[in-house]
Amino acid sequence: MLLKPIISEKSTALAGEKKYTFKVVKSATKPQIKQAVEKTFGVKVLEVRTITVRGKNYRSGKRWIIRKRADWKKAVVKIAPDKQIDLFEAAVGK
């Protein structure tokens, strides 16, 4: 279900509020995402929010043909206040 964490300026700011952002499988549901995060990181998930991100258009090739990147799904997961995910905390310390 979880493909990779999204580490950006906005997501590291949200990590301070105990909200962590992940790129997930497009067909994943909120209960599946919750279960995957709890199993992988050993934390209690309080809330899951999902966003389907539309793929951007881009031009490529000799004749500048317009193509489209694939759509993908993002999940913002809120965890219990007494827990943390170390993967994001390491990014904040850089």
3-state helix, strand, coil split of the chain in percent (to 5) is: 30, 35, 35
Residue 46 neighbours by CB distance under 10 Å: 14
Question: Tens digit of pLDDT for each residue in 65-85?
Answer: 999 999 999 999 999 999 988
Tell me, what's the pLDDT at 86? 85
Please give the torsion angle defined by the CA atoms of residues 68, 69, 70 and 71, in that order, rounded to the nearest 10 degrees: -90
Give bridge partners of residue 19 from the DSSP assignment: 78
pTM above 0.75, yes or no: yes
Tell me, what's the pLDDT at 93? 52
**CA neighbor of 78 nearest in space, from 52, 35, 49, 36:** 49
Quote the CA–CA distance of 79 and 34 in Å, as a whole number: 10
